[in-house]
Structure 1
């Protein structure tokens, strides 16, 4: 995929029909709306096959799905492996949640000792947890505290650079949560995560805008929405026994 100069950001939502169990495909719409509020045109392109790929790619989002659809999602992703590899090598900001993240890893461990091979594009692999994690989660991501909802039966091993340290919840099952590898962010956080944690969305947008040479304007819309998101995070934080922001 080429990354040519453009005044419009193109945001890909990969396999939204298969990988949107927890509403994670909405992360693409969050990025697009925040870009528009910042005075930058943006469009969301749903990608189901290589025929849907646009010439220009600025940001990529892939969500989570059920194990029932695991084989179908893997089969649909395989033809997109070269494109994903190109985006990651080119520094395109990419967010992968749950199953989407696992499928981009080395593989996924399943009950009974079986394993599904991943695309091997990011470090580590998904491993079985002793019990399913289904609860709110808080993560110290150094520059921000992230709040989300986790709903997964697998943790993650081999994340040399995690997204953050778990303050409450399970995450990778190692005391850490997620994976950061260059421009790639993998996480178990649903919500969708970018709506609940707009600071993470702005991290991705800033990177994409810098690559385009685009300036983000201040917006009253973001101030209002960010205040609402902060209040929602604080409600969860207090329930988890943490202080408010």
Structure 2
């Protein structure tokens, strides 16, 4: 069986290389001895018959309306995938488009697909940029990346990806980053995030394999590459002034 990983709208939603997270999943699956392929989907007509995971990257505000129109064609499928437990990674504006909606500075708005709780609103104090370190909720993992967004994310405080150790995350002073609902993840972590945080990639791959009746076990090549990723992560944490050996603070359901 071949695992099919869909990169949604890569021509529009790949400003920071986020769509390449699909390639990360496929490569790690291959190193584990599993067949996997990446399918770029720009419209509903290009959708494969079976989907094992979805990646939606971040785009520019200029492409928001076009991206939303194309995603609306896939609304029923996206909702079904989310309900069925298909892993979905949405980054930046890709995440915002799956939310309740996006509020723009001129007072107008763009209705989201309503797959994830919360909405994007103009950030008080301007654009948020810089290194981002997150203590993942429910684990001892520190996730690293960079953030670059003009909007804050509100209304999903009960289900964050994790607590901010360095950076701003969902909003200045919120202390939270991202949103998680089942196997659907929304995040500001650019990067691509799965290359920098292989534990997140392996979690998605484990779910993908299990749903397909397969078993995912990282291969030898994976461990070699992850050693490089770990070195880069430690350099990132050191530059951010975060102690990689310190256990993240306990996290509650309300963050």
TM interval, shorter chain, is over 0.9
Are residue 48 (structure 1) and residue 46 (structure 2) matched?
A: no
Deviates more, 1:176-185 or 1:120-129: 120-129
* CA deviation vs aligned residue, 1:128-175 (integer Å, no higher than 9, x gap): 212211101000004211000101011111222100000000110121
1:97 corresponds to which of 91, 101, 108: 91
Give the SS at the match of 1:71.
helix
Who is 1:140 aligned against?
Answer: 135
Partner of 1:3: none
Q: Which residue pairs with 1:4 in the alignment?
A: none
Give the aligned partner of residue 235 of structure 1: 235
Q: 1:204 to 1:218 in 2, by over 3 A?
A: closer
Distance apart, 1:238 and its partner CA = 0.8
Counterpart of 1:165 (choices 163, 166, 174) is 163
Deviation >3 Å, runs of 4+: none
Residues 27-66 of structure 1: CA deviation (Å, up to 9, x unaligned) = 0000000000111000001111111111111001000000
- 2:15 aligns to what SS in structure 1? coil
**Equivalents in 2 of 1:69, 1:235: separation in Å?**
34
Does structure 1 retain, via aligned residues, the 8 Å contact 2:28–2:218?
no
The alignment covers a number of residue pairs equal to 239
5+ residue gaps, structure 2, are: 246-255
Aligned-CA RMSD value = 1.0
Normalised to the residue count of structure 1, the TM-score between the two structures is 0.95
Partner of 2:8: 14
How is 1:11-90 mapped onto 2 (pairs within 5 angstroms)?
11-90=5-84
Name 1:152's counterpart in structure 2. 149
What is the rounded CA distance, in whole Å, between the counterparts of 1:148 and 1:120 in structure 2?
A: 26
Matches within 5 A, 1:187-198: 187-198=187-198
Equivalent-residue separation in structure 2 for 1:175 and 1:127 (angstroms) = 17
